[in-house]
Structure 1
Amino acid sequence: MSCQTGSHKVLLFYIFDNELSKRFNNRLVVQKNVMRTYGNGKAVGYAEDILCLDGNWRQNMSIGLLQFDSEVLANRWRQSDPQFRQHDWLDDHDIWVLPLTEDIQPWYCFEVDLFKVADKEQFEHDFLSKWGEGIRNAGGFPGVSSTGEVHVWRGMHEADYVFISQWPNELVAQKWHQSEEANQLKVTRPQVTNGCMMLARMKLFA
């Protein structure tokens, strides 16, 4: 798939073995000042812990998020770094490019929802808008990235829609997911087969 991210802010969504988190972190610390010269690039963080709420997340896999002013500048930075441009530096990892649709909040708890969507119009009208509103009313920040178009730089992408939100902490997020309103909405949601709904406790970069 491709997405209209050429001149808009983007997130690089990395999926890699959680045993390589230290390697990912250390290299980004080294690259901090360099990244800024490529479209205000910066590391958002990586997951220290992941809780799968529904569906199936890849066992022992973590995620990392980087932010850039555009996909073009993100790619220029990646190609400039001798570690990140190596095909096998993070072993068998995935890289997705997602549009940044809302400014990221200084909250460490990220919710990543990956959906299979049969009817996009029905999904957006009957589920997604209400899901986002419910998250906001429950104290979360919905739709940091909300897209049905993902540009895959490496690896696989099986979900039809990616919806990333933030929460001030896991307790607030879990309270929402256990609420009657959330469970009623989940009845109308699309399948999470080949995807999931998960909470990621992120180590944020300063």
Structure 2
Amino acid sequence: MSFAQVSHHVNHTCATQTTPRGSAANSRGHTPQQSPRTKTPGKDTSPFSSPRSSKGAMIIIRFNASYIQSFKNSMTKSRSIMRNYGGSLLGVGSKIYSIEGNWNPQKYCVGVLHFANRQQADLWYVSDPLIKQQDWLDGADFICVPLYTAAPLDKCVFEIMDLKMSNPKAFFEEYIPNTTDSMVAHGATPCVAATEEHSRIASDYRGLWEPGMVIVHCWPSLQAFRQSYDSEEYQYWKNFRQTCTCTECDVVVFQGETFPF
């Protein structure tokens, strides 16, 4: 299922049975007096709703934090090859904040690359003599996901969500339409909305990371992300996502650092 294939008939079953409106508590113990107003079923105008050509491909590299300097050195040495395939480094996160789930923030760093399309990303991956070594960075995790909005250069904070879906219908028809506008108002740019199918296609990239639904938002600052995530209006929908749409939710955020490249 892609974002473009989702119908617009709202399914209220899960919300009614699992998270009664007006009673969902947030992670800090606050219970909203009433649920946020839901959008009227109809045409979804969120950035993920309509068919559009891909704005490129994003490679996400997760590696052991002890190799952060080796990663930077490798990117510098390989920059000419990467540029030959239209690639660029968007940033590297040396300090990861685990917001939900099981990512160990002391264990991992993350690099984010951009390519014009998946084909160019594949060609770079198999052509770079340093990167294609199986023991590079002691076995880094690679995934490749499609960009549906170009990552803004002035928004260098990356939020990565890895979701194991149990009810994609509720996720697409309720969670997405009722949270996207608020996130955008707080400064987010939704960049990646990869279905589980995209993630399986990406599994030919090496590593132990087996993602489910991968979503990436770019933010202007860590503070902007935190204000959105902690906002009262988001607490109901966060609880809805966690209890009604997913069996596992990993959410991490980091400042994408740049360096002479």
| TM-score class normalised by the smaller sequence | 0.7 to 0.9
- Does the alignment pair 1:191 with 2:222? no
Give 2:226's aligned residue.
Answer: 174
User: What CA deviation, in whole Å up to 9, does each residue of 1:16-70 have, x standing for no partner?
Assistant: 00111111111212222321211x1111111021111111113511111111122
Query: Are the structure 2 counterparts of residues 55 and 192 from structure 1 closer, same or farther at C-alpha, using a change threshold of 3 Å?
Result: farther
- Does the alignment pair 1:105 with 2:152? yes
Report the TM-score, using the length of structure 1 for normalisation: 0.88
- Does the 8 A contact of 2:56 with 2:150 survive in 1? no
- When Rg is computed on C-alpha atoms for both structures, the one with the higher figure is 2
Residue 181 of structure 1: CA displacement?
Answer: 1.0
Question: Which letter does structure 1 place at the counterpart of 2:221?
Answer: N
Which of 10-19 and 66-75 deviates more?
A: 66-75
Give 1:36's aligned residue.
Answer: 83
Unaligned runs of 5+ in 2: 1-53
Give 1:122's aligned residue.
Answer: 170
Residue 192 of structure 1: CA displacement?
Answer: 6.1
Match of 2:69 among 22, 26, 29: 22
- Alpha-carbon distance in structure 2 between the residues aligned to 1:159 and 1:124: 18
Question: Which letter does structure 2 place at the counterpart of 1:128?
Answer: I
User: What CA deviation, in whole Å up to 9, does each residue of 1:145-193 have, x standing for no partner?
Assistant: 1111211211234442111001111111111111111111112103362
Give 2:102's aligned residue.
Answer: 56
Question: Which letter does structure 2 place at the counterpart of 1:199?
Answer: V
> Where do 1:63-82 residues align within 5 Å?
63-82=110-129
- Alpha-carbon distance in structure 2 between the residues aligned to 1:131 and 1:33: 40
User: Which 4+ runs in 1 deviate beyond 3 A?
Assistant: 156-159
Residue 103 of structure 1: CA displacement?
Answer: 0.6
Question: Which letter does structure 1 place at the counterpart of 2:216?
Answer: I
- Does the alignment pair 1:154 with 2:209? no
Which of 22-31 and 153-162 deviates more?
A: 153-162
- Alpha-carbon distance in structure 1 between the residues aligned to 2:177 and 2:80: 38
Task: Tell me how many residue pairs correspond in the alignment.
Answer: 197
- Does the 8 A contact of 1:49 with 1:202 survive in 2? no
SS of residue in 1 equivalent to 2:235: helix
Which of 181-190 and 73-82 deviates more?
A: 73-82
- Alpha-carbon distance in structure 2 between the residues aligned to 1:93 and 1:30: 17
SS of residue in 2 equivalent to 1:204: coil
Give 2:215's aligned residue.
Answer: 163
- Alpha-carbon distance in structure 1 between the residues aligned to 2:84 and 2:175: 40
Give 1:201's aligned residue.
Answer: 255
Identical positions, percent: 24
- Does the 8 A contact of 2:91 with 2:256 survive in 1? yes
- Alpha-carbon distance in structure 2 between the residues aligned to 1:25 and 1:80: 19
Report the TM-score, using the length of structure 2 for normalisation: 0.70
SS of residue in 1 equivalent to 2:137: coil
